Amino acid sequence: MDAGHPPCFVRLPLLLLPLLCGAAPAAAAPTGGSDVAATGEFWHITDLHLDPTYHLAEDPTKVCYSSKGVPATHAGLFGDFLCDSPYRLIQSAFSHMAPLTRPEDFIVWTGDSPPHVPADELSTDIVIQVISNMTQTIRQHFPNLTVYPALGNHDYWPQDQMPTSTNDIYRAAAQLWKPWLQPEALLTLSQGDVSSSAALKVFLSRFVFCPVPAGGFYSQLVKPGLRVVSLNTILYYGPDKVTRNMTDPAGQFEWLEQTLEKAAQSLEKVWNLSLKPDLVTYRTLNVAFFLLQVYIIAHVPVGYLPFARNTTAIRESHNERLVAICRDYSHVIAGHFYGHTHRDSIMVLLDKQGGHFNMGTYGDWLTSGASLKWTFEELQFNKSVMSSLCSASSLCRLEYIMTEAFGLADLQPRSLLQLGLSFMLPQTKAFDKYFGHYMVGYNSSIVCEGACKVSQVCAVLHLDRLSYSKCVAKGE
């Protein structure tokens, strides 16, 4: 039996077993028409980490539970660096983002709504309430936009322990996100309380004695020419004890390969997304054949952590397989976006010969800085948009525009590869600037040299074990 599927017992001929307990089917239903050659923008919201306990108090150790007793000495109306996000901060961000949206825009929301607090201060019901609160807040500020969510490791209780079968949180997420997602997407997100799976649920409950497979992932067509694939990389996260001995938790690898193979056969062009508050420009190509871009969103990133030597963000074995899949389907995958690390980083996925395949980013969270001002970081989009956003409020500032900061023509893999390679050149200031943005401007006195720099650069350019190990050995 595949280690990625729960055991089950069937009161039916064995002929039906693969159908009943196999991986969830790939789902990608069209959601409506729009000009394939259109250019639009989307917001990327991530790691909101709402702390409903935040309040101004005379005792700085009592300002927020998320500081875990550490004094929040710079607490203000919009937060403190040591605390997770007050609701006022989140509302302020959304209020200034909303007027800048257009009907053709959409939002990518890559998880982690609850705060960083001990497990005994939360519960399944509280986690669901926080996700519901953030869902409703986003809908209130962006009522006409479709949102494509992904689950984070804090979006479960106990945190990190994502299961491979249907559960209260998967079912709640499916209910909350019904206004945004199609039934086929909701089916793989959660088998519970999804209208299109009602007959299947009855069938399984009568004839099958096993947990209904659900993995918290999905695929959906945004418009002709654009698809979103949302991965649940928490299933590969080291702290997840539930999936520790599974080679393919919830059959997500198999599902991803099927989805990408279908994309390849359809001449689809695939993007992979994941975590950071961004507004990024996308453009589909009007060519002789139908070309589809797919944005894959996820929370925990692929590759090696830039701040921890020899440490992958997900389990190393799962990282190796995910990198291999991305390489196999590099002709349809155009990019990756991740988060979870609360830092701004880039990655370039190379083939085994060192040729560039895809680009990727993962980034910071919405939080309050020491100056009590929240910041946005911009990848590649209209500078006037950010200028308008920040000129309307004294609460934000433009952090940087990547193409301008590093003198790049674009953010294609070739350009990011050259940038990454330049980090190791003598007399270059590019890495120092990159590391400053990696720290989101938190403390300019912190420098990264020697072993720190090797870890950073190797994480940018090498996502698999063999090439990363060679890079580290050469750097030392």
Q: Read off the CATH number of the domain in which 161 is found.
A: 3.60.21
Tell me whether strands 9-10 and 208-209 are parallel, antiparallel or unpaired: antiparallel
H-assigned helices in 354-401: 383-391
Dihedral pair phi/psi, residue 152, rounded to 5°? -105, 170
Find the distance separating the first CA and the last CA of the chain, reported in whole Å.
Answer: 44
Residue closest to 227 by CA, chosen among 292, 140, 142, 169: 292
**Cα(190)–Cα(192) distance, integer angstroms:** 5
Task: Find out whether 449 and 443 touch, Cβ atoms under 8 Å.
Answer: no
The reply to whether 56 falls in a domain is no
The reply to whether 433 falls in a domain is no
Residue closest to 292 by CA, chosen among 42, 30, 24: 30
Paired tokens of 252: 């997500």
The reply to whether 337 falls in a domain is yes
**Cα(233)–Cα(252) distance, integer angstroms:** 9
**Cα(5)–Cα(165) distance, integer angstroms:** 9
Q: Which domain holds residue 20?
A: 9-50+85-411
Task: Find out whether 106 and 295 touch, Cβ atoms under 8 Å.
Answer: no
Q: What angle do CA 156, 162, 166 make, to 5 degrees?
A: 95
Q: Side-chain half-sphere of 325: how many Cα atoms within 13 Å?
A: 20
The reply to whether 65 falls in a domain is no
The reply to whether 402 falls in a domain is yes
**Cα(387)–Cα(140) distance, integer angstroms:** 24
Each residue's pLDDT tens digit in the chain (476 positions)? 344 433 332 322 222 222 222 222 233 333 433 333 345 678 888 889 999 999 999 999 999 999 999 999 999 998 998 999 999 999 988 988 898 888 888 888 989 999 999 999 999 999 999 999 999 999 999 999 999 999 999 999 999 999 999 999 999 999 999 999 999 999 899 863 333 344 454 444 444 434 445 789 999 888 876 778 899 999 999 999 999 999 999 999 999 999 888 877 775 454 444 333 333 333 333 333 345 666 788 999 999 999 999 999 999 999 999 999 988 888 777 667 777 888 888 888 887 666 556 666 555 444 333 222 222 233 333 333 444 444 445 556 777 888 889 999 888 888 889 999 999 888 789 999 999 989 887 788 899 999 999 999 999 999 999 999 999 999 87
Number of domains in the chain: 1
**Cα(226)–Cα(40) distance, integer angstroms:** 11
The reply to whether 208 falls in a domain is yes
| Chain-centre distance for alpha carbon 392 | 28
Residue closest to 338 by CA, chosen among 370, 313, 311, 375: 313
Residue 270: partners with Cβ closer than 8 Å, 6 or more residues away: 227, 229, 260, 263, 292, 293, 294, 296, 329, 332, 333, 334
The reply to whether 366 falls in a domain is yes
Hey, which residues does 378 pair with through a beta bridge?
Answer: 401
Strand order in the sheet with 335-338: 218-223, 226-230, 293-297, 335-338, 356-362, 345-350
Tell me whether strands 39-45 and 106-109 are parallel, antiparallel or unpaired: parallel
The reply to whether 441 falls in a domain is no
DSSP 3-state of 255: helix
**Cα(126)–Cα(442) distance, integer angstroms:** 31
